[in-house]
Structure 1
Amino acid sequence: MKSFTHTTLVVQLQAGDTDRCPVLAHLSYDAADPFAVTFLFSHDGRVLARWTLDRDMLGDGLSRPVGMGDVRLRPASTGRWEELRMEFLGDPRPDGGRHHAVVFVWAPAVAAFLRETHEIVPPGQEKVRVDDFLAEVMAGG
Protein backbone atom coordinates (compact mmCIF):
# COMPACT_ATOMS: atom_id res chain seq x y z
CA MET A 1 0.00 0.00 0.00
CA LYS A 2 1.26 3.46 -0.90
CA SER A 3 2.12 5.70 2.08
CA PHE A 4 3.76 8.68 0.38
CA THR A 5 3.09 10.97 -2.58
CA HIS A 6 4.99 13.85 -4.10
CA THR A 7 4.56 16.25 -7.00
CA THR A 8 6.43 19.23 -8.37
CA LEU A 9 4.60 22.25 -9.74
CA VAL A 10 5.68 25.51 -11.30
CA VAL A 11 4.12 28.28 -9.23
CA GLN A 12 4.27 32.06 -9.28
CA LEU A 13 6.05 33.85 -6.42
CA GLN A 14 5.40 37.50 -5.62
CA ALA A 15 7.59 38.98 -2.89
CA GLY A 16 6.86 42.51 -1.74
CA ASP A 17 6.00 44.84 -4.61
CA THR A 18 7.76 42.76 -7.27
CA ASP A 19 6.18 41.12 -10.30
CA ARG A 20 5.45 37.42 -10.19
CA CYS A 21 8.30 35.06 -11.00
CA PRO A 22 8.17 31.30 -11.56
CA VAL A 23 9.60 28.96 -8.91
CA LEU A 24 9.21 25.27 -8.21
CA ALA A 25 6.98 23.98 -5.45
CA HIS A 26 7.63 20.42 -4.29
CA LEU A 27 4.53 19.11 -2.50
CA SER A 28 4.83 16.00 -0.38
CA TYR A 29 2.52 13.97 1.82
CA ASP A 30 3.45 11.12 4.13
CA ALA A 31 0.94 8.90 5.93
CA ALA A 32 3.24 9.02 8.98
CA ASP A 33 2.13 12.66 9.42
CA PRO A 34 -1.43 12.38 8.06
CA PHE A 35 -2.60 15.93 8.78
CA ALA A 36 0.30 17.69 7.02
CA VAL A 37 1.31 18.63 3.49
CA THR A 38 4.83 19.98 3.03
CA PHE A 39 5.63 22.66 0.46
CA LEU A 40 9.30 23.17 -0.41
CA PHE A 41 9.86 26.15 -2.69
CA SER A 42 13.04 26.26 -4.79
CA HIS A 43 14.63 28.29 -7.56
CA ASP A 44 17.86 27.58 -9.46
CA GLY A 45 18.58 24.62 -7.18
CA ARG A 46 18.28 26.68 -3.97
CA VAL A 47 15.65 26.09 -1.33
CA LEU A 48 13.78 29.35 -0.76
CA ALA A 49 11.40 28.19 1.96
CA ARG A 50 9.79 25.12 3.46
CA TRP A 51 6.30 25.24 4.98
CA THR A 52 4.21 22.47 6.50
CA LEU A 53 0.49 23.13 6.10
CA ASP A 54 -2.60 21.48 7.50
CA ARG A 55 -4.11 19.24 4.80
CA ASP A 56 -7.70 20.23 5.63
CA MET A 57 -6.81 23.93 5.62
CA LEU A 58 -5.20 23.52 2.20
CA GLY A 59 -8.36 21.91 0.84
CA ASP A 60 -10.59 24.55 2.43
CA GLY A 61 -8.44 27.30 0.90
CA LEU A 62 -9.45 26.13 -2.57
CA SER A 63 -13.03 27.28 -1.94
CA ARG A 64 -12.89 30.01 0.72
CA PRO A 65 -10.46 32.24 2.64
CA VAL A 66 -8.80 30.42 5.55
CA GLY A 67 -5.94 30.96 7.94
CA MET A 68 -4.66 33.62 10.20
CA GLY A 69 -1.25 34.39 11.54
CA ASP A 70 1.65 33.27 9.37
CA VAL A 71 -0.31 31.45 6.62
CA ARG A 72 -3.44 32.57 4.78
CA LEU A 73 -5.04 30.85 1.80
CA ARG A 74 -7.86 31.81 -0.52
CA PRO A 75 -9.12 31.11 -4.02
CA ALA A 76 -8.18 33.66 -6.66
CA SER A 77 -9.40 33.94 -10.22
CA THR A 78 -7.39 35.66 -12.91
CA GLY A 79 -9.43 35.43 -16.06
CA ARG A 80 -9.70 31.79 -16.99
CA TRP A 81 -7.13 30.66 -14.39
CA GLU A 82 -8.34 29.38 -11.06
CA GLU A 83 -5.56 29.82 -8.56
CA LEU A 84 -4.92 29.24 -4.89
CA ARG A 85 -3.38 32.35 -3.34
CA MET A 86 -1.03 31.40 -0.53
CA GLU A 87 0.23 34.23 1.67
CA PHE A 88 3.20 33.59 3.97
CA LEU A 89 4.52 35.88 6.68
CA GLY A 90 8.05 35.14 7.78
CA ASP A 91 10.63 36.37 10.22
CA PRO A 92 10.78 39.98 11.40
CA ARG A 93 12.88 42.44 9.40
CA PRO A 94 15.18 45.06 10.96
CA ASP A 95 12.68 47.80 10.05
CA GLY A 96 10.00 46.17 12.26
CA GLY A 97 8.01 44.65 9.41
CA ARG A 98 7.94 40.98 8.47
CA HIS A 99 9.11 39.16 5.39
CA HIS A 100 6.08 38.59 3.20
CA ALA A 101 5.55 36.45 0.13
CA VAL A 102 2.55 35.42 -1.92
CA VAL A 103 2.52 32.27 -4.01
CA PHE A 104 -0.07 31.59 -6.71
CA VAL A 105 -0.68 27.91 -7.49
CA TRP A 106 -2.93 26.46 -10.19
CA ALA A 107 -5.90 25.30 -8.07
CA PRO A 108 -6.76 22.15 -10.11
CA ALA A 109 -3.22 20.85 -9.54
CA VAL A 110 -3.55 21.30 -5.77
CA ALA A 111 -6.97 19.59 -5.84
CA ALA A 112 -5.49 16.65 -7.77
CA PHE A 113 -2.65 16.35 -5.26
CA LEU A 114 -5.10 16.41 -2.36
CA ARG A 115 -7.12 13.61 -4.00
CA GLU A 116 -3.92 11.52 -4.05
CA THR A 117 -3.40 12.19 -0.33
CA HIS A 118 -7.01 11.15 0.34
CA GLU A 119 -6.34 7.83 -1.40
CA ILE A 120 -3.44 7.23 1.01
CA VAL A 121 -5.27 8.35 4.17
CA PRO A 122 -8.96 9.17 3.69
CA PRO A 123 -10.27 12.23 5.56
CA GLY A 124 -11.45 11.22 9.00
CA GLN A 125 -9.19 8.13 9.01
CA GLU A 126 -6.06 9.96 10.20
CA LYS A 127 -4.46 8.35 13.21
CA VAL A 128 -2.29 10.22 15.66
CA ARG A 129 0.43 8.26 17.39
CA VAL A 130 0.14 10.07 20.72
CA ASP A 131 2.92 8.12 22.44
CA ASP A 132 5.38 8.96 19.64
CA PHE A 133 4.28 12.59 19.68
CA LEU A 134 4.69 12.90 23.45
CA ALA A 135 8.13 11.23 23.32
CA GLU A 136 9.20 13.75 20.67
CA VAL A 137 7.89 16.69 22.70
CA MET A 138 9.58 15.42 25.87
CA ALA A 139 12.86 15.00 23.96
CA GLY A 140 12.68 18.64 22.85
CA GLY A 141 12.00 17.82 19.17
Structure 2
Amino acid sequence: MKQTSVVRNLTLWSVDRQPIDTFIRYDIADPYAVTLEFVDDHGRTTVSYLFGRELLIDGLHELVGQDLVVVGPHDADGYTTLSLTPEHGALPMDFYVATAVLTEFVEASCQLVASGSERFHLSIDQVIAHLLHGRWAA
Protein backbone atom coordinates (compact mmCIF):
# COMPACT_ATOMS: atom_id res chain seq x y z
CA MET A 1 0.00 0.00 0.00
CA LYS A 2 1.33 3.39 -0.98
CA GLN A 3 2.16 5.80 1.83
CA THR A 4 -0.16 8.83 1.74
CA SER A 5 0.98 10.87 4.74
CA VAL A 6 3.94 11.87 6.87
CA VAL A 7 3.55 12.49 10.60
CA ARG A 8 6.36 13.46 12.94
CA ASN A 9 6.51 14.24 16.62
CA LEU A 10 7.92 17.74 16.81
CA THR A 11 9.24 19.33 19.98
CA LEU A 12 8.88 23.10 19.97
CA TRP A 13 10.81 25.14 22.49
CA SER A 14 9.20 28.24 23.94
CA VAL A 15 11.23 31.39 24.56
CA ASP A 16 11.50 30.39 28.23
CA ARG A 17 12.97 27.03 27.11
CA GLN A 18 9.96 24.89 27.93
CA PRO A 19 9.49 21.92 25.57
CA ILE A 20 6.09 21.60 23.93
CA ASP A 21 5.17 18.37 22.18
CA THR A 22 3.36 18.75 18.87
CA PHE A 23 2.77 16.71 15.75
CA ILE A 24 3.37 17.93 12.24
CA ARG A 25 1.43 16.23 9.48
CA TYR A 26 1.43 16.20 5.69
CA ASP A 27 -1.17 14.31 3.69
CA ILE A 28 -1.41 14.00 -0.08
CA ALA A 29 -5.17 14.62 0.20
CA ASP A 30 -4.25 18.29 0.82
CA PRO A 31 -0.94 18.51 -1.05
CA TYR A 32 -0.33 22.20 -0.49
CA ALA A 33 -0.66 22.16 3.30
CA VAL A 34 0.89 20.93 6.52
CA THR A 35 -0.87 20.77 9.87
CA LEU A 36 0.82 21.51 13.18
CA GLU A 37 -1.12 20.01 16.09
CA PHE A 38 -0.66 20.88 19.75
CA VAL A 39 -1.72 18.00 21.97
CA ASP A 40 -2.66 17.65 25.63
CA ASP A 41 -1.24 15.10 28.09
CA HIS A 42 -3.65 12.46 26.74
CA GLY A 43 -2.56 12.93 23.11
CA ARG A 44 -5.72 14.78 22.07
CA THR A 45 -5.35 17.71 19.69
CA THR A 46 -6.12 20.98 21.44
CA VAL A 47 -5.09 23.49 18.78
CA SER A 48 -4.05 23.06 15.17
CA TYR A 49 -2.55 25.33 12.56
CA LEU A 50 -2.94 24.65 8.85
CA PHE A 51 -0.42 26.44 6.64
CA GLY A 52 1.32 26.08 3.32
CA ARG A 53 4.04 23.48 2.92
CA GLU A 54 5.89 25.96 0.69
CA LEU A 55 5.99 28.38 3.64
CA LEU A 56 7.75 25.71 5.68
CA ILE A 57 10.13 24.85 2.84
CA ASP A 58 11.07 28.49 2.23
CA GLY A 59 11.26 29.19 5.97
CA LEU A 60 14.16 26.79 6.32
CA HIS A 61 16.27 29.32 4.37
CA GLU A 62 14.73 32.75 4.88
CA LEU A 63 12.13 34.53 7.00
CA VAL A 64 8.73 34.08 5.34
CA GLY A 65 5.07 34.44 6.21
CA GLN A 66 2.94 37.07 7.79
CA ASP A 67 0.09 37.38 10.25
CA LEU A 68 -0.73 33.95 11.69
CA VAL A 69 2.37 31.91 10.76
CA VAL A 70 5.95 33.11 10.26
CA VAL A 71 8.90 30.74 9.73
CA GLY A 72 12.59 31.51 9.40
CA PRO A 73 16.13 30.69 10.45
CA HIS A 74 17.04 31.35 14.07
CA ASP A 75 20.21 33.18 15.10
CA ALA A 76 21.48 29.98 16.72
CA ASP A 77 22.73 27.46 14.15
CA GLY A 78 20.58 24.39 13.82
CA TYR A 79 17.30 26.02 14.82
CA THR A 80 14.32 27.48 13.02
CA THR A 81 11.95 30.08 14.45
CA LEU A 82 8.22 29.45 14.25
CA SER A 83 5.96 32.34 15.21
CA LEU A 84 2.26 31.55 15.61
CA THR A 85 -0.51 34.03 16.27
CA PRO A 86 -3.63 32.40 17.73
CA GLU A 87 -5.98 34.95 16.15
CA HIS A 88 -5.83 38.29 14.38
CA GLY A 89 -4.81 41.03 16.79
CA ALA A 90 -3.32 38.68 19.41
CA LEU A 91 0.35 38.65 20.32
CA PRO A 92 2.37 36.01 18.50
CA MET A 93 3.85 33.01 20.31
CA ASP A 94 7.45 32.38 19.33
CA PHE A 95 8.94 28.89 19.27
CA TYR A 96 12.21 27.32 18.21
CA VAL A 97 12.58 23.91 16.60
CA ALA A 98 15.52 21.82 15.44
CA THR A 99 16.05 22.55 11.74
CA ALA A 100 17.19 18.97 11.10
CA VAL A 101 13.81 17.61 12.22
CA LEU A 102 11.91 20.06 9.99
CA THR A 103 14.22 19.31 7.07
CA GLU A 104 13.66 15.57 7.43
CA PHE A 105 9.89 16.13 7.56
CA VAL A 106 9.96 18.33 4.44
CA GLU A 107 12.12 15.81 2.57
CA ALA A 108 9.75 12.98 3.50
CA SER A 109 6.75 15.02 2.33
CA CYS A 110 8.52 15.80 -0.95
CA GLN A 111 9.06 12.07 -1.46
CA LEU A 112 5.26 11.75 -1.51
CA VAL A 113 4.56 14.87 -3.58
CA ALA A 114 7.43 16.79 -5.14
CA SER A 115 7.38 20.52 -4.49
CA GLY A 116 5.76 22.18 -7.50
CA SER A 117 3.73 19.12 -8.50
CA GLU A 118 0.94 19.54 -5.94
CA ARG A 119 -1.66 20.46 -8.55
CA PHE A 120 -1.39 16.98 -10.07
CA HIS A 121 -2.46 15.43 -6.77
CA LEU A 122 -5.68 17.35 -6.24
CA SER A 123 -9.02 15.66 -6.71
CA ILE A 124 -11.60 17.92 -8.37
CA ASP A 125 -14.23 16.38 -6.08
CA GLN A 126 -12.20 17.37 -3.01
CA VAL A 127 -11.70 20.91 -4.32
CA ILE A 128 -15.45 21.32 -4.90
CA ALA A 129 -16.25 19.88 -1.45
CA HIS A 130 -13.76 22.29 0.10
CA LEU A 131 -15.26 25.26 -1.70
CA LEU A 132 -18.82 24.26 -0.77
CA HIS A 133 -18.22 23.17 2.81
CA GLY A 134 -15.08 25.04 3.84
CA ARG A 135 -13.14 21.88 4.62
CA TRP A 136 -11.28 19.07 2.87
CA ALA A 137 -13.24 15.87 2.45
CA ALA A 138 -11.61 12.70 3.74
TM-score by length of 2: 0.83
1:50 alignment partner, SS class: strand
Distance change (3 Å), C-alpha of 1:137 and 1:24:
same
Q: Which residue of 1 aligns with 2:83?
A: 87
Alpha-carbon deviation of 1:30? 0.6
- Residues 1:25 and 2:22 aligned together: yes
- Larger deviation: 30-39 or 128-137? 128-137
C-alpha spacing 1:112/1:139, structure 2 compared with 1 (3 Å): closer
> How much identity, in percent, do the aligned residues show?
25
Match of 1:62?
60
Is this contact kept in 1: 2:68–2:87, CA < 8 A?
no
- Structure 1 residues 75-127: Cα deviation after superposition (integer angstroms, max 9, x where no partner): 0032xx411101111236xxxx5142111110011001100001111112213
Higher Rg of the two aligned structures: 1
1:44 maps to: 41
In structure 1, the residue matched to 2:4 is: 3
Larger strand proportion of the pair? 1
Contact 1:23 1:43 in 2 (8 A): no
**Number of equivalences:** 131
User: Aligned equivalents of 2:108 and 2:19: distance in 1?
Assistant: 24
What is residue 118 of structure 1 aligned with on the other side?
A: 110
- Regions of 4+ moved over 4 Å: none
Q: Normalising by structure 1, report the TM-score.
A: 0.81
